[in-house]
Structure 1
């Protein structure tokens, strides 16, 4: 038995009006296949080009090890020069990923290679973020702290994206006071006997290739798996729904700091309690259902 996932609609291209009517207002994901051919990045950006232009930059690397109580928020697991990291990506499978690497801050000249598209939303122009990964590397299932609308532009390689709306949170074994689900769930190939509530969750799936754009609506859970080495760039716009905007403020100004305080106070016991509570709360919902 597999997850209940429907294919994300694919459009060759979309006008602003079509995007707003068909996808943004109803908050539905979409893959736009032919949208960035006029960007210099479309033909220039590759792993080799990134190695050439940013090779000497030291980059933070992350893998899929479980969260520990003594690790800070988004603290990297390793560091490496970009050229060495890309050489590693191209030579063998690796769990190491780069995420939230700010283009403007790190390599300002890359700004000349892309545009801020007019989707009818005000994009945050200071936060174009790059994400890199090697074959079979993946993120945990998570949603972003600001519950933003995300436009995910993919370059090189193939990537699998699994999404769930916030309405499905109750079935996903969400970790309390956190933005992730249980880290021992492999959403690319889940054990539904071990995690039975997942059978009730209704989600979406898409595979991205070079030049594809994935729209991820506000607060959607997402799990990204690199089928082959590659990288993507995300642009974001703030949550427009009052409920989501309020939750974003809560996450940023309270939840994150409360969780860090509890880690310092309780240590690993806090992490263990949260993992156990994720199962208890999810199974409670499943019984009621």
Structure 2
């Protein structure tokens, strides 16, 4: 992707407003503001006023209209944000997510109308894509694709010193040092198979639920030749993504933060004293350029769902990051693009010996530190048999549904996982 523009005034262009305006319905009544679910009565008048400001001028809204649109956007986002954070995410009504998306849309349009630099407009689009629900034929994704080429090139690189946490905040977490992975014993090794037929994979691995490392399946994916840290900064450096801070999500200091890909690279990839991990369930929908570089494995067609039901996840981070021993409710293909990972698998039949957390939130996660177990506290862990491998670039590991898996990045790595039923 060519990234051009200047740091100042890249949004100050009547031509850009015309391009952005063309992404919306031609007439005001075409922007229907239809919401899926119950939303409080006070919200719709705010949405209609914002819509009227966008459509009220023959050309670009003047400064007063842009300022009023920005204020309405702030109100819509703040009000819906409270609704998004009042309980479990699965209980959040789609209508409130749509209101948040509209708030982000109107905020981004206000930035363009005001002629400001476009970084904040792009960030608002990303927030709407991450936390909102699709509106107007996924207009936020189309808008960000129009804005991104006009941004200045992303700057990244090794900082002169590790960034300091702001006063009053905890310092950035660092990984506990780990040595080389345990030696792989032949009887514990996960079998390898090169490009099996659909029938062979189904009969010998899918139906009996046996793990296997697949070779040669992803050799033709464009990501195998294209992807690098520089490539990510070029394609997505300005994009806002959620980053997990800490070596593992069960650590007390673990947290999440939204930041641009360039900031993530500078703070957590180029600076090895900090540990952060980009674990993203929406990255490929948010940044379609990356999705074009991968393919859904053909073996997913053996599942019961449709292709749209397959969840594609991105895992990008430095060496030392760990996914504690846990299980997932779907079949999993874990594809390694670059870097190596040490992986250990346990059968669901050994669940009682793996000491899952008793809390509802972590019930699918073991309390045991796989590489440094406390046998006094968890004596039955010695009874659990396991298989292991070092997943290399170009290999795909099939992890059957509910299989327990522990993953440690041995170096800077990028993986793509496909969850399917």
TM-score, normalization by structure 1 = 0.71
CA distance in 2, matches of 1:47, 1:187: 30
CA RMSD between the two structures: 2.6
2:418 is the alignment partner of 1:228: no
Question: Mapping of 1:159-174 within 5 angstroms?
Answer: 159-174=341-356
In the alignment, is the contact (CA less than 8 A) between 1:124 and 1:235 conserved in 2? Answer: no
Structure 2 counterpart SS, 1:22:
helix
Q: Decide whether aligned partners of structure 1 residues 9 and 81 sit closer, same or farther in structure 2, where only a CA change above 3 A counts.
A: same
In the alignment, is the contact (CA less than 8 A) between 1:60 and 1:76 conserved in 2? Answer: no
Structure 2 counterpart SS, 1:84:
helix
In the alignment, is the contact (CA less than 8 A) between 2:184 and 2:388 conserved in 1? Answer: no
- Which of 312, 335, 345 matches 1:153? 335
CA distance in 2, matches of 1:3, 1:115: 30
CA deviation profile, 1:120-176 (whole Å, cap 9, x unmatched): 2346435211012211110121112xx101111111111111111211110011112
Following superposition, the deviation at residue 211 of structure 1 comes to 1.0
CA distance in 1, matches of 2:217, 2:236: 26
2:265 is the alignment partner of 1:82: no
- Which of 378, 390, 395 matches 1:195? 378
In the alignment, which residue of structure 2 is the partner of 1:211?
Answer: 394
2:280 is the alignment partner of 1:100: yes
In the alignment, which residue of structure 2 is the partner of 1:180?
Answer: 365
In the alignment, is the contact (CA less than 8 A) between 1:58 and 1:79 conserved in 2? Answer: yes
In the alignment, which residue of structure 2 is the partner of 1:257?
Answer: none
Relative contact order higher in (CA < 8 Å, ≥ 6 apart): 1
Following superposition, the deviation at residue 105 of structure 1 comes to 2.3
TM-score, normalization by structure 2 = 0.50
Stretch deviating more after TM superposition (30-39 or 187-196): 187-196
Q: Decide whether aligned partners of structure 1 residues 43 and 165 sit closer, same or farther in structure 2, where only a CA change above 3 A counts.
A: same
In the alignment, which residue of structure 1 is the partner of 2:290?
Answer: 110
Identify unmatched segments of 5+ residues in structure 2: 1-181
Identify unmatched segments of 5+ residues in structure 1: 239-289
Structure 2 counterpart SS, 1:167:
helix
Flag as ranges the 4+ runs of structure 1 deviating above 4 A.
Answer: 1-5
In the alignment, is the contact (CA less than 8 A) between 1:94 and 1:137 conserved in 2? Answer: no
- Which of 121, 131, 137 matches 2:321? 137
Which has the larger Rg?
Answer: 2
Following superposition, the deviation at residue 106 of structure 1 comes to 1.6
CA distance in 1, matches of 2:211, 2:402: 12
Following superposition, the deviation at residue 2 of structure 1 comes to 10
Q: Decide whether aligned partners of structure 1 residues 99 and 65 sit closer, same or farther in structure 2, where only a CA change above 3 A counts.
A: closer
Which structure is higher in strand share?
1
CA distance in 1, matches of 2:196, 2:184: 29
Q: Decide whether aligned partners of structure 1 residues 3 and 208 sit closer, same or farther in structure 2, where only a CA change above 3 A counts.
A: closer
Following superposition, the deviation at residue 53 of structure 1 comes to 1.2
Q: Decide whether aligned partners of structure 1 residues 94 and 213 sit closer, same or farther in structure 2, where only a CA change above 3 A counts.
A: farther
